[in-house]
């Protein structure tokens, strides 16, 4: 996940705090020493406790899937290895206003698209039919129109106009809405067992999925900070 490291226009420098909170990493900011939760983008201890920074759209994917869709990308030339994390084992969490929902990647790969409403905003969580490691979260609102997206013959289309959309960039490629752009929204990949820790009121998609089966006790090694579900 990627956050804008500004508070009221002030640029903040962060470092890895080294401890876990809710089974996820924490940061510290260099000017106040406050401790921040990475998934929440929120200070959980210190002078800035309760303050948040903006979550930006980003993706957890393979380098091959990313570089094919974004060939102009420059990457840090450093030794690396396999992450040991399969996207199929994660959920994509979308949080807007005071609402949140989790979309299991395995289910998304079967259906291709989740058309939903989160925080009053019509959204679509899309798996690229040409590469299951590419995904995106889009707003479904275009001016006064709300599109309903689906996969047909390995293409992302909207049902009403049959416009073909780029499943990575959200650009209308062919049809009546060609040239229109669906706004990209933030989505956070997470393990299902951790959703209840950071988004305790989140519902799982599809609605028939049982949230409790993915919950597990919260683990933390951050001294002086407690969390419960």
pTM: 0.80
Residue of 192, 169, 167, 171 lying closest to 180 (CA atoms): 171
pLDDT in tens, the chain (229 residues): 788 999 888 999 999 888 888 888 899 999 999 999 988 899 999 999 999 998 888 877 777 878 888 889 888 877 766 767 788 889 999 999 999 999 999 999 999 999 999 999 999 999 999 888 889 999 999 988 999 999 999 999 999 999 999 999 999 999 999 999 999 999 999 999 999 999 999 999 986 554 444 444 444 555 555 444 3
**Domain range list for the chain:** 2-56, 63-73+83-185
Q: What is the pLDDT of residue 216?
A: 45
CATH architecture entry for 63-73+83-185: 3-layer Sandwich (2.102)
Residue of 145, 146, 105 lying closest to 122 (CA atoms): 146
**Which residues make beta-bridge pairs with 42?**
37, 52
């Amino acid at each position: 996940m990627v956050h804008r490291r500004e508070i009221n226009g002030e640029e903040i420098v962060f470092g890895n705090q080294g401890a876990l909170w809710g089974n996820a990493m924490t940061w510290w900011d260099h000017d106040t020493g406050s401790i921040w939760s990475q998934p929440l983008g929120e200070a959980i201890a210190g002078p800035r406790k309760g303050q948040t920074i903006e979550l930006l759209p980003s993706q957890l994917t393979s380098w091959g899937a990313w570089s094919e869709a974004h060939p102009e990308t420059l990457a840090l030339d450093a030794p690396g290895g396999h992450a040991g994390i399969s996207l199929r084992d994660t959920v994509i969490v979308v949080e807007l206003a005071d609402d949140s929902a989790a979309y299991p990647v395995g289910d998304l790969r079967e259906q291709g698209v989740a058309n939903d409403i989160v925080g009053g905003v019509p959204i679509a969580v899309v798996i690229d039919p040409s590469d299951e490691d590419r995904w995106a979260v889009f707003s479904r609102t275009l001016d006064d129109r709300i599109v309903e997206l689906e996969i047909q013959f390995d293409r992302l289309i909207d049902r009403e106009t049959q416009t073909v959309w780029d499943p990575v960039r959200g650009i209308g490629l062919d049809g009546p809405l060609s040239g229109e752009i669906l706004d990209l929204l933030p989505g956070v990949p997470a393990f299902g067992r951790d959703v209840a820790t950071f988004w305790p009121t989140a519902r799982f998609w599809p609605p028939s999925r049982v949230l409790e089966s993915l919950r597990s006790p919260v683990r933390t090694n951050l001294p002086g900070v407690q969390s419960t579900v």
